[in-house]
Amino acid sequence: MAVRFQADADLSQIIVATVLRRSSDIDFQTAHAASLGGLKDIEVLGIAASEGRILVTHDSRTMPTHFAEFVRSQHSPGVIVVPQSLAVPAAAEDLALTSRVRHVPCSSTGVAVQLSECGTPRRRLSGCRRQNVPECGGGVGR
């Protein structure tokens, strides 16, 4: 099954637009299209999970904790946290590469990663049980 993304309301729309401009075949739903504005993190995670989408967010402050709580009782394809400091082209490239990887669930908890300044997954976020998320320099799909 192909990877599907759901943008959180706080994710830069420039990143979404750049990803879609580079690869129009990527399934990346905007927060507006999913009516996510004003919803709590747990509700956003529930909507993304119900549609089989990986949530993409800038929220490194509260989302990792809410994701850990969510996956204790429900399945989620995962969360990708994109630092606001990461350049748009780098973020778009990494998301485009990630979209080309076939999703193979590691457990019922999904996966949560945070992109790093070098543009690759930096670390697993709390609550994730996946053990083979590459460190900085390893890269997704590289």
Q: Please report which helix (H) or strand (E) contains residue 111, including its range.
A: strand 111-115
Reference 64, options 2, 136, 122, 20; nearest CA is 122
Q: What is the mean pLDDT of the chain?
A: 78
* CA dihedral for 123, 129, 94, 101, sign (positive or negative): positive
Give the pLDDT score at 111: 54
Assign residue 119 a region (left: φ > 0; alpha: ψ between -120 and 50; beta: otherwise): left
Amino acid in the structure at residue 118: C
Torsion (CA) 17, 133, 48, 66 in degrees, nearest 10: -110
Instruction: Please write the tens of the pLDDT for every residue from 93-124.
Output: 989 888 776 544 444 445 555 554 444 444 44
- Contact of 15 with 85, CB cutoff 8 Å: no
Q: pLDDT at position 122, please?
A: 46
Backbone φ and ψ for 30, nearest 5 degrees, come out as -75, 160
Q: What is the pTM of this model?
A: 0.76
pLDDT tens for 52-84 read 999 999 999 999 999 999 999 999 999 999 999
The answer, yes or no, to whether residue 127 has pLDDT greater than 80, is no
Give the distance from CA 25 to its chain's centroid.
17
We find that the CATH architecture of domain 4-124 is 3-Layer(aba) Sandwich (3.40)
